[in-house]
Amino acid sequence: MATIDITPDRIDVRLTTAEKIWALRGDLSFPRSAVAGAVVVPDGARATRGIRAPGLGVPRTRNVGTWRGRAGKEFVSVRGGQPAVRITLTGQAYDSLLIGADDASALAAAVLP
C-alpha cells in the first residue's frame, strides 16, 4: 500500500516495489501549495474513473497506475472496500491522486495546506 509522507512544504507518495512495477512509475512528490482540495471516498476501487493507461486494474479489487478521463490524469493506488482520499492538484503532472488509506479522514485533513 502506498504511504504518504507530509512535511510543511512537500507531500511524498511512496510506492511499494509491486506498485512501482504495476504502475510503471516511481514515487511521486509535489509541493503542498499544489493541493487544491481533498475529499474522502468510501470505496477507492469504485471511485476510480477513466481509462487505465498504464497500470493494473482488477475490478473492485485493486487499481494502481494512471487513469485518464474527462477530469484529467489521475494517479491511483487503491484497494476494493478501502476508503480513499482524492487529492486535487494544480500545476502538476497529475490533475489528482486517489490514494487508499485506512484513516482517510485524517489523511484528507493533513494534506490540506
Q: Give the three cell numbers for residue 73.
A: 490524469
Q: Are 77 and 19 in contact (CB under 8 A)?
A: yes
Query: pLDDT tens digits for the chain (113 residues)?
Result: 899 999 999 999 999 999 999 999 999 999 999 999 999 999 999 999 999 999 999 988 999 999 999 989 999 999 999 999 999 999 999 999 999 999 999 999 999 97
Residue 71 is part of which domain span?
3-111
Question: Which pTM value belongs to this model?
Answer: 0.94
Q: Are 100 and 44 in contact (CB under 8 A)?
A: yes
Segment holding 106, helix H or strand E: helix 104-111
Domain count of the fold of the chain:
1
